[in-house]
């Protein structure tokens, strides 16, 4: 029996909604477990890092991308391929440094906050989507790119857009050993 057209898209949408709802429950539980927002932010980043370390294999296997030759290409790949592939959105990319190692991913729509209206006043320093920073950092590290990833703007905190900053720190040294 064949699957009707459009069925796969419907399942994908249901899966994304389930993920977003589950993510919201996870953040709510972390807020109950930790008194300080900084502890929740650290936990989300750490969890995201673990996901990113593992997700990069899936990304490389399913995206068939070539090796990026610059930080700019890498930032574009994250926005145009990875975000589209896993979250169904494509953030815009802007370079924010003359050295070409700092970029911003600007999301007009952040699917992780589809069911969140606003953060409670007592959780003003909570970075609700900090998991994304950890995912990006972990995935980049696995392809030998050290980076600092932080939220610069957040719609949940009243900003006009959601902006994730990526600062590439250095390329990891290739460890090629010459045979004697």
- pLDDT value of position 96: 80
Rounded distance, CA 118 to CA 116, Å? 6
> Is 63 inside any structural domain?
yes
Which two three-digit tokens encode residue 36? 């300080």
Report, as an integer, the average pLDDT of 93-120. Answer: 90
**What pLDDT, on the 0 to 100 scale, is given for residue 17?**
83
| Domain around 110 | 16-116+125-168
Q: Is the separation of the CB atoms in 164 and 149 below 8 Å? A: yes
* Residues making up the chain, counted from first to last: 180
Q: What is the pTM of this model?
A: 0.85
The per-residue pLDDT for 104 is: 96
* 14 confidence band (pLDDT: 50, 70, 90): low
Domain total of the chain: 1
Q: Write out pLDDT tens, residues 32-78.
A: 999 999 999 999 999 999 999 999 999 999 998 889 999 999 999 99
Whether residue 92 is contained in a domain is answered as yes
Domain for residue 61, yes or no? yes
Q: CA 65, 162, 146 angle in degrees (round to 5)?
A: 45
Indicate whether 93 belongs to any domain: yes
**Alpha carbons 143 and 8: distance in angstroms, whole number:** 31
Cα–Cα distance for residue pair 127/149, rounded to 1 Å:
13
Handedness of CA 49, 139, 128, 164 (dihedral sign): positive
Top-confidence residue, 109 or 180: 109
The predicted structure's pLDDT at residue 5? 57
How distant is the alpha carbon of residue 121 from its chain centre? 25
Residue with more model confidence, 99 or 151: 151
CATH code where residue 130 lies:
3.30.1380.20
Report yes or no on 164 lying in a domain: yes
CA distance 20 to 24: 6
Is the pLDDT assigned to residue 114 strictly greater than 90? no
128-173 pLDDT, tens digit each: 999 999 999 999 999 999 999 999 999 999 898 999 999 999 754 4
Position 11 pLDDT exceeds 70: no
What Cα–Cα distance (Å) separates residue 34 from each residue in 39, 40, 43, 82, 157?
6, 6, 10, 31, 20
Closest CA to 167 of 151, 152, 147: 147
């Amino acid at each position: 029996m064949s699957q009707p057209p459009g069925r796969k898209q419907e399942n994908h949408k249901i899966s994304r909604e389930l993920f977003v709802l589950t993510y919201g429950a996870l953040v709510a539980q972390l807020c109950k477990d930790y008194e300080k927002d900084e502890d929740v932010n650290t936990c989300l980043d750490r969890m995201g890092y673990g996901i990113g370390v593992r997700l990069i294999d899936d990304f490389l296997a399913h995206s068939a991308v070539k090796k990026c030759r610059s930080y700019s290409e890498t930032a574009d790949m994250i926005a145009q391929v990875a975000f589209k592939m896993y979250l169904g959105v494509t953030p815009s990319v802007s370079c924010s440094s003359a050295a070409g190692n700092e970029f911003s991913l600007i999301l007009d729509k952040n699917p992780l906050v589809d069911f969140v209206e606003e953060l409670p006043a007592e959780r003003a320093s909570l970075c609700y989507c900090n998991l994304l920073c950890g995912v990006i950092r972990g995935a980049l590290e696995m392809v030998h790119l050290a980076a600092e990833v932080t939220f610069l703007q957040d719609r949940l905190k009243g900003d006009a857009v959601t902006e994730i900053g990526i600062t590439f720190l250095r390329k990891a040294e290739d460890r090629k050993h010459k045979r004697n």
